[in-house]
Amino acid sequence: MKPEPSAEPLAPGVVRFYSFLPSADRIREDVLAGLALPQKSIPPKYFYDEQGCRLFEEICELPEYYPTRTETAILRGNIADIVQFVGPDAELIEYGSGVQAKTRILIQALQTRLYVPIDIAVETLEASSNALAGRFPFLNIVGICADYARPLALPEFVGVPIRRKLAFFPGSTVGNFTPAEALQFLKNVRRSVGTGGALLIGVDLKKDKATLDAAYADAKGVTARFNLNLLERINRELGADFQLNRFRHRAFYEPTQGRVEMHLESLYSQIAHVAGRRFDFRPGETIHTEISCKYSIAEFQELGKRAGFSAEKVWTDPEQLFSVHGMVAA
Ligand code: AVI
């Protein structure tokens, strides 16, 4: 998978892939820098190796993890309104496309002709895009393997009539950024869709602590395996020697900051080596692995406005667990 020149004619059924992935050294640099901080931390994007992607799919099916099924129901239940909001002939750009399950609802309803999924997980991107091509023969697919948190100049394509670009960012993945990072990300999206372009974005809503604590510390322990898999990946890819049974998963909602925090807590005084460097852990000391920010509808609309979008539509579920915003680049 290599970057190719853009502006090539497309063909339905033939999936093209472009790669803008950072160098293999990047994970090493990021992990070493994060573990050297007073509050040790590792960026959440490194959860998603093959096993991490599988575990995340399992999380999405858990009874405690309401976001996936709730967002899917919101999309299905409001699809006619969403089609009207987007209008005809939209290029669909999906950030963090994963297994592209919710995308199918949109592609079917919008009769999308050009789909540009962007994901850091190369195997998932390839497998999902190829499966989608088999299902929608009218669809042109251009998969982009990239870290979408960084500004990305998306290629332009010829041969498919496009009236507007639609950015789709489901799953409340925007919550895994700090609000400042989310603002920067939304500004980048604003640039990519251009004036008049649209954004359809899923955002998890603030709610009671018990519901959120359970969603990120499920009874079956799948989220714990997802969190610990990060250490397994680092052991494998960076020659580290973390002992997984000497750490435990911790996740809790922090209401003052309006975010869930995930950590890996050291159970003992211990030492781990990563890429030849030594890291000491006190009992109870944690590696901070993820934040998942929750927003009220008004808070997120305000963030969108600051990034240059006008907040046109918002769809929610009857219990007000989750929101899907329709925004237009002003
Ligand atoms: C991908 N992201 C939106 C998930 C979330 O809810 O923040 C990741 C996740 N972490 C633990 N469970 C799910």
Q: What one-character-per-residue DSSP string does 13-73 give?
A: T--EEEE-PPPTHHHHHHHHHHHTSSS-B--GGGG-SHHHHHHHHHHHTSSS-HHHHHHHH
Ligand 1 close to Cβ of residue 172 (< 6 A): yes
pLDDT, position 33 = 98
Ligand 1 close to Cβ of residue 103 (< 6 A): no
The minimum-distance atom of ligand 1 relative to the CA of 173 is 3
Q: How confident is the model at residue 260 (pLDDT cuts 50, 70, 90)?
A: very high
- Rounded distance from Cα 306 to ligand 1 centre (Å): 25
- Rounded distance from Cα 173 to ligand 1 centre (Å): 7
Q: Please give the mean pLDDT across all residues of the chain.
A: 94
The minimum-distance atom of ligand 1 relative to the CA of 292 is 7
**Which residue CA neighbors atom 3 of ligand 1 most closely?**
173
* Higher per-residue confidence, 150 vs 55: 55
Q: Which of 3-7, 114-118, 291-295 has the lowest mean pLDDT?
A: 3-7
CA distance 177 to 149: 9
Share of the chain above pLDDT 90, in %: 85
* Higher per-residue confidence, 123 vs 165: 165
- Rounded distance from Cα 302 to ligand 1 centre (Å): 23
Share of the chain above pLDDT 70, in %: 98
Average pLDDT over every residue of 81-104 = 95
Ligand 1 close to Cβ of residue 223 (< 6 A): yes
**Which residue CA neighbors atom 11 of ligand 1 most closely?**
216
Residue 318, pLDDT above cutoff 50: yes
The minimum-distance atom of ligand 1 relative to the CA of 251 is 11
Average pLDDT over every residue of 16-24 = 82
Q: How confident is the model at residue 25 (pLDDT cuts 50, 70, 90)?
A: confident
**3-class secondary structure, 278:** strand
Structural Rg of the chain based on CA atoms: 20
The minimum-distance atom of ligand 1 relative to the CA of 204 is 6
- Rounded distance from Cα 186 to ligand 1 centre (Å): 19
- Rounded distance from Cα 326 to ligand 1 centre (Å): 22
Ligand 1 close to Cβ of residue 173 (< 6 A): yes
CB 152 within 8 A of CB 118: yes
Residue 95, pLDDT above cutoff 60: yes
- Rounded distance from Cα 47 to ligand 1 centre (Å): 10
Residue 3, pLDDT above cutoff 50: no
Q: Which of 8-17, 49-58, 92-101, 132-141 has the lowest mean pLDDT?
A: 8-17
Ligand 1 close to Cβ of residue 97 (< 6 A): no
Q: How confident is the model at residue 8 (pLDDT cuts 50, 70, 90)?
A: low
Encoding tokens for residue 321?
């667990």
Residue 2, pLDDT above cutoff 90: no
pLDDT, position 5 = 43
State how far Cα 116 lies from the chain centre. 15
Residue 297, pLDDT above cutoff 50: yes
Average pLDDT over every residue of 7-13 = 73
Distances 318 to 70, 105, 146, 209, 315 between C-alpha atoms, Å: 10, 20, 36, 19, 10
Q: H/E element holding 76?
A: helix 66-77
- Rounded distance from Cα 215 to ligand 1 centre (Å): 9
Residue 6, pLDDT above cutoff 60: no
CA distance 34 to 246: 20
Helix axes 66-77, 101-110, angle to 10 degrees: 10
pLDDT, position 259 = 98
- Rounded distance from Cα 292 to ligand 1 centre (Å): 7
Distances 47 to 23, 76, 140, 231 between C-alpha atoms, Å: 17, 29, 29, 9
The model's pLDDT over 101-128, given as tens digits with 9 standing for 90+, comes to 899 999 999 999 999 999 988 889 999 9
The minimum-distance atom of ligand 1 relative to the CA of 226 is 11
Single-letter amino acid, residue 327 = M
CA distance 39 to 287: 7
CA distance 90 to 267: 51
* Residue of 279, 274, 272, 329 whose CA lies nearest to 305: 329
The model's pLDDT over 204-233, given as tens digits with 9 standing for 90+, comes to 999 999 999 999 999 999 999 999 999 999
* Residue of 115, 84, 90 whose CA lies nearest to 102: 115
